[in-house]
Chains A and B, each alone.
Chain A
Amino acid sequence: MSIAVSRRAFLLGTAAGTLALATSRVSAAEKLKVAGIHASPVENAWNSRLHEALLAAAKDGVIEYTFSEGVSGTDYPRAMREYAEAGNKLIVGESYAVETEARQVAADYPDTAFLMGSSGGPAGDNFGTFGTWNHEAAYLAGMLAAPMSKTGTFGAVGAIPIPEVNILINAFRAGVSEARPDAKFLVGFIGTFFDPPKARESGLAQIDAGADILFGERIGTADAAKEKGIKSVGSLLDYTPRYPETVFANAMWYFRPILDAAVKDVQAGEKTGKDYSPYSFMKEGGNDIVFSESMVIKDSIPAMEAKRKAIKDGSFKVPVDPSEPT
């Protein structure tokens, strides 16, 4: 199924891309040609962050952006090659499912830079990687969440316990524990990145088990919280507009600093085979907390803001714990 979906999406993407190219050719003299290859539909929270940053960069006139979405693992290396052959100078995407093959493709196209979300490290001169590190913001959200719970039980719904998800949930817990050492934690993994009804059921199960604050790594979690009238924290993007009464804080992740750094390196002709993860840090503007002041407990804000400042000036480091939370 996924093959056919991806093929259609690929055709659609390239068709739209060609159209975009045709219309913007006049003004595209200095712009860097950037292609995005998304393994999921761009609705996926994570992909939407990349997509949004790329669109914004295109709007700012920094890059020229074409993309494909829903590209399955079996098609992924081929899509990389096609975009490289088409003369794109920077190809942005994710190599989680194709770590080896993606690096082989990069080795075949030394004049193209690759910037991939990856669980492995960079390779060669042109294969750069990045991690999704919004754990600092999650820690701060945990600090705000701590005094809001009546039961002292904090739930979290995640997709799959990969390091990036674990680090995030563990950081949220560390933030809660700082203000509330006796807090009890629950976690549920739904085994897929794309099943909001299941994430909702997982959230409801945690509420049944006594949780009254949910950390939603997956969309659907906040729906459970909303249904039961409790509060929830969002991750990656701002869920408050979607759930105004429910989501009081979001651990935002911004892809733009990583993108800008890579674009700059490509334009300067510098080596791009490096780890761009540090641009995810709060001091680079790669992640931050957004919260509704009216929904949180006033007294908890100053301590959180102080910690935020400490993270930014480097005097406090949020622990990075990739072990599977229980």
Chain B
Amino acid sequence: MMEALDIFASAGLWAAVLRIATPLIFGTLGALICERSGVLNLGIEGIMTFGAMIGWMTVYHGGGLWAGIAVAALSGAMFGLLHAAMTVPLGLSQHVTGLGITLFASSLSYYIFRLSIPVSGSPPTIVPFQPIAIPGLSDIPFLGEALFSQTAPTYLAILLAVVAAIALARTPLGLAVRIVGENPHAAEAQGIDPIRLRIGAVVVGSALMAVGGAFLTLSAFNSFFPTMVQGRGWVCIALVVFASWKPARALLGALLFALFDAYQLRLSHVVGKAIPYQLFLMIPYLMSILALLVMARRARVPQALMQPFRRGER
């Protein structure tokens, strides 16, 4: 029993939490921004896959790591534009369009990857982001290793969560996004164009999703595999609900999910065969469902989520 608790005292656990959480933070923030403006974006899984592929491909062909992140963001923005064009001015079903984008983007990544990289059991590698030491902070015992030995995108993800929280709650633009998600007609009466704003929110949100995917190939690993996103996008969609559509809670939710995951990887070594390993793999998802039950009761869904805005409609 003590050993199960000792795990929490290891710096490695907390470092793993931040690593595992990073793609989820990007993805959840992206999905959250889309949904706050009233558009559900189920294209996330495919957009993350494409971001992972194109980001890696950029670096493989000689680009810098940050160029990889930028290209991934740009590709995400393009898929976002596609999703927005279908769902916002045309008002098509957001579920169907989103799933369509996921199918399209993941298949297209596979296609591009297969055409441009020779088949091999050990695909080519790039040199990924390295952990950066923050002067002063990284030398603190325990905390330094636990929290300040990450790669740059991880710090960026946390920074973005803070920026998104402030922007949504405290800026005129954030207010406009929120109104459009609650009552687009009221927004229009205020002189805000809900169509343009929604398109903008989906484009920005989708760009963040793609960066989350790019983290997998540019920092968490150094090669691309066509199926490597492994449902992380769907986890992000659930985390948005967990977060009650609030960026700060989204950060918390992603960290909590990552904590369960990092913990179960270690717990299995302590407990051994007493419990089947499948149970450990379930832990993060089970805990997320439990947390969801508690949090979702109080969650306030954006009132106009999934409702297309048609000008002049009553």
Contact = CB atoms under 8 A, between A and B. Distances in A.
Contacts of B93: none
A204 B20 CA distance: 12
Bin the interface of chain B by size.
Answer: 35 or more
Contacts of A191: 277-278, 281
Given A161-B277, A205-B12, A205-B266, A43 B121 contact: yes
A293 to B, nearest CB: 21
B107 to A, nearest CB: 5
A192 B261 CA distance: 14
Interface stretch (A20-28, A235-243, A312-320): A235-243
Interface stretch (B73-81, B220-228, B290-298): B220-228
A194 B228 contact: yes
A12 B20 CA distance: 34
Indicate the size class of the contact surface on chain A.
Answer: 35 or more
Contacts of B221: 196-197, 200, 220, 223
Interface in A15-44: 40-44
Contacts of A219: 122
Interface in B83-116: 102-103, 106-107, 110-111, 114
A41 B111 CA distance: 11
A1 interface: yes
B104 to A, nearest CB: 8
Interface string A83-124: 000000000000000000000000000000000000000000
Interface string A199-212: 01110111111000
A283 interface: no
Contacts of A52: 121
Given A43-B226, A237-B122, A201 B110 contact: no
A201 B122 contact: no
Nearest to A16: B114
A186 interface: yes
Contacts of B278: 191
A196 B225 contact: yes
A209 B16 CA distance: 13
B110 A206 contact: no
Interface of B: 10, 12-13, 16, 19-20, 45-46, 102-103, 106-107, 110-111, 114, 119-123, 125, 216, 220-223, 225-228, 230, 261-262, 265-266, 268-269, 272-273, 277-278, 281
5 contacts: A1-B45, A5-B106, A43-B119, A201-B20, A208-B10
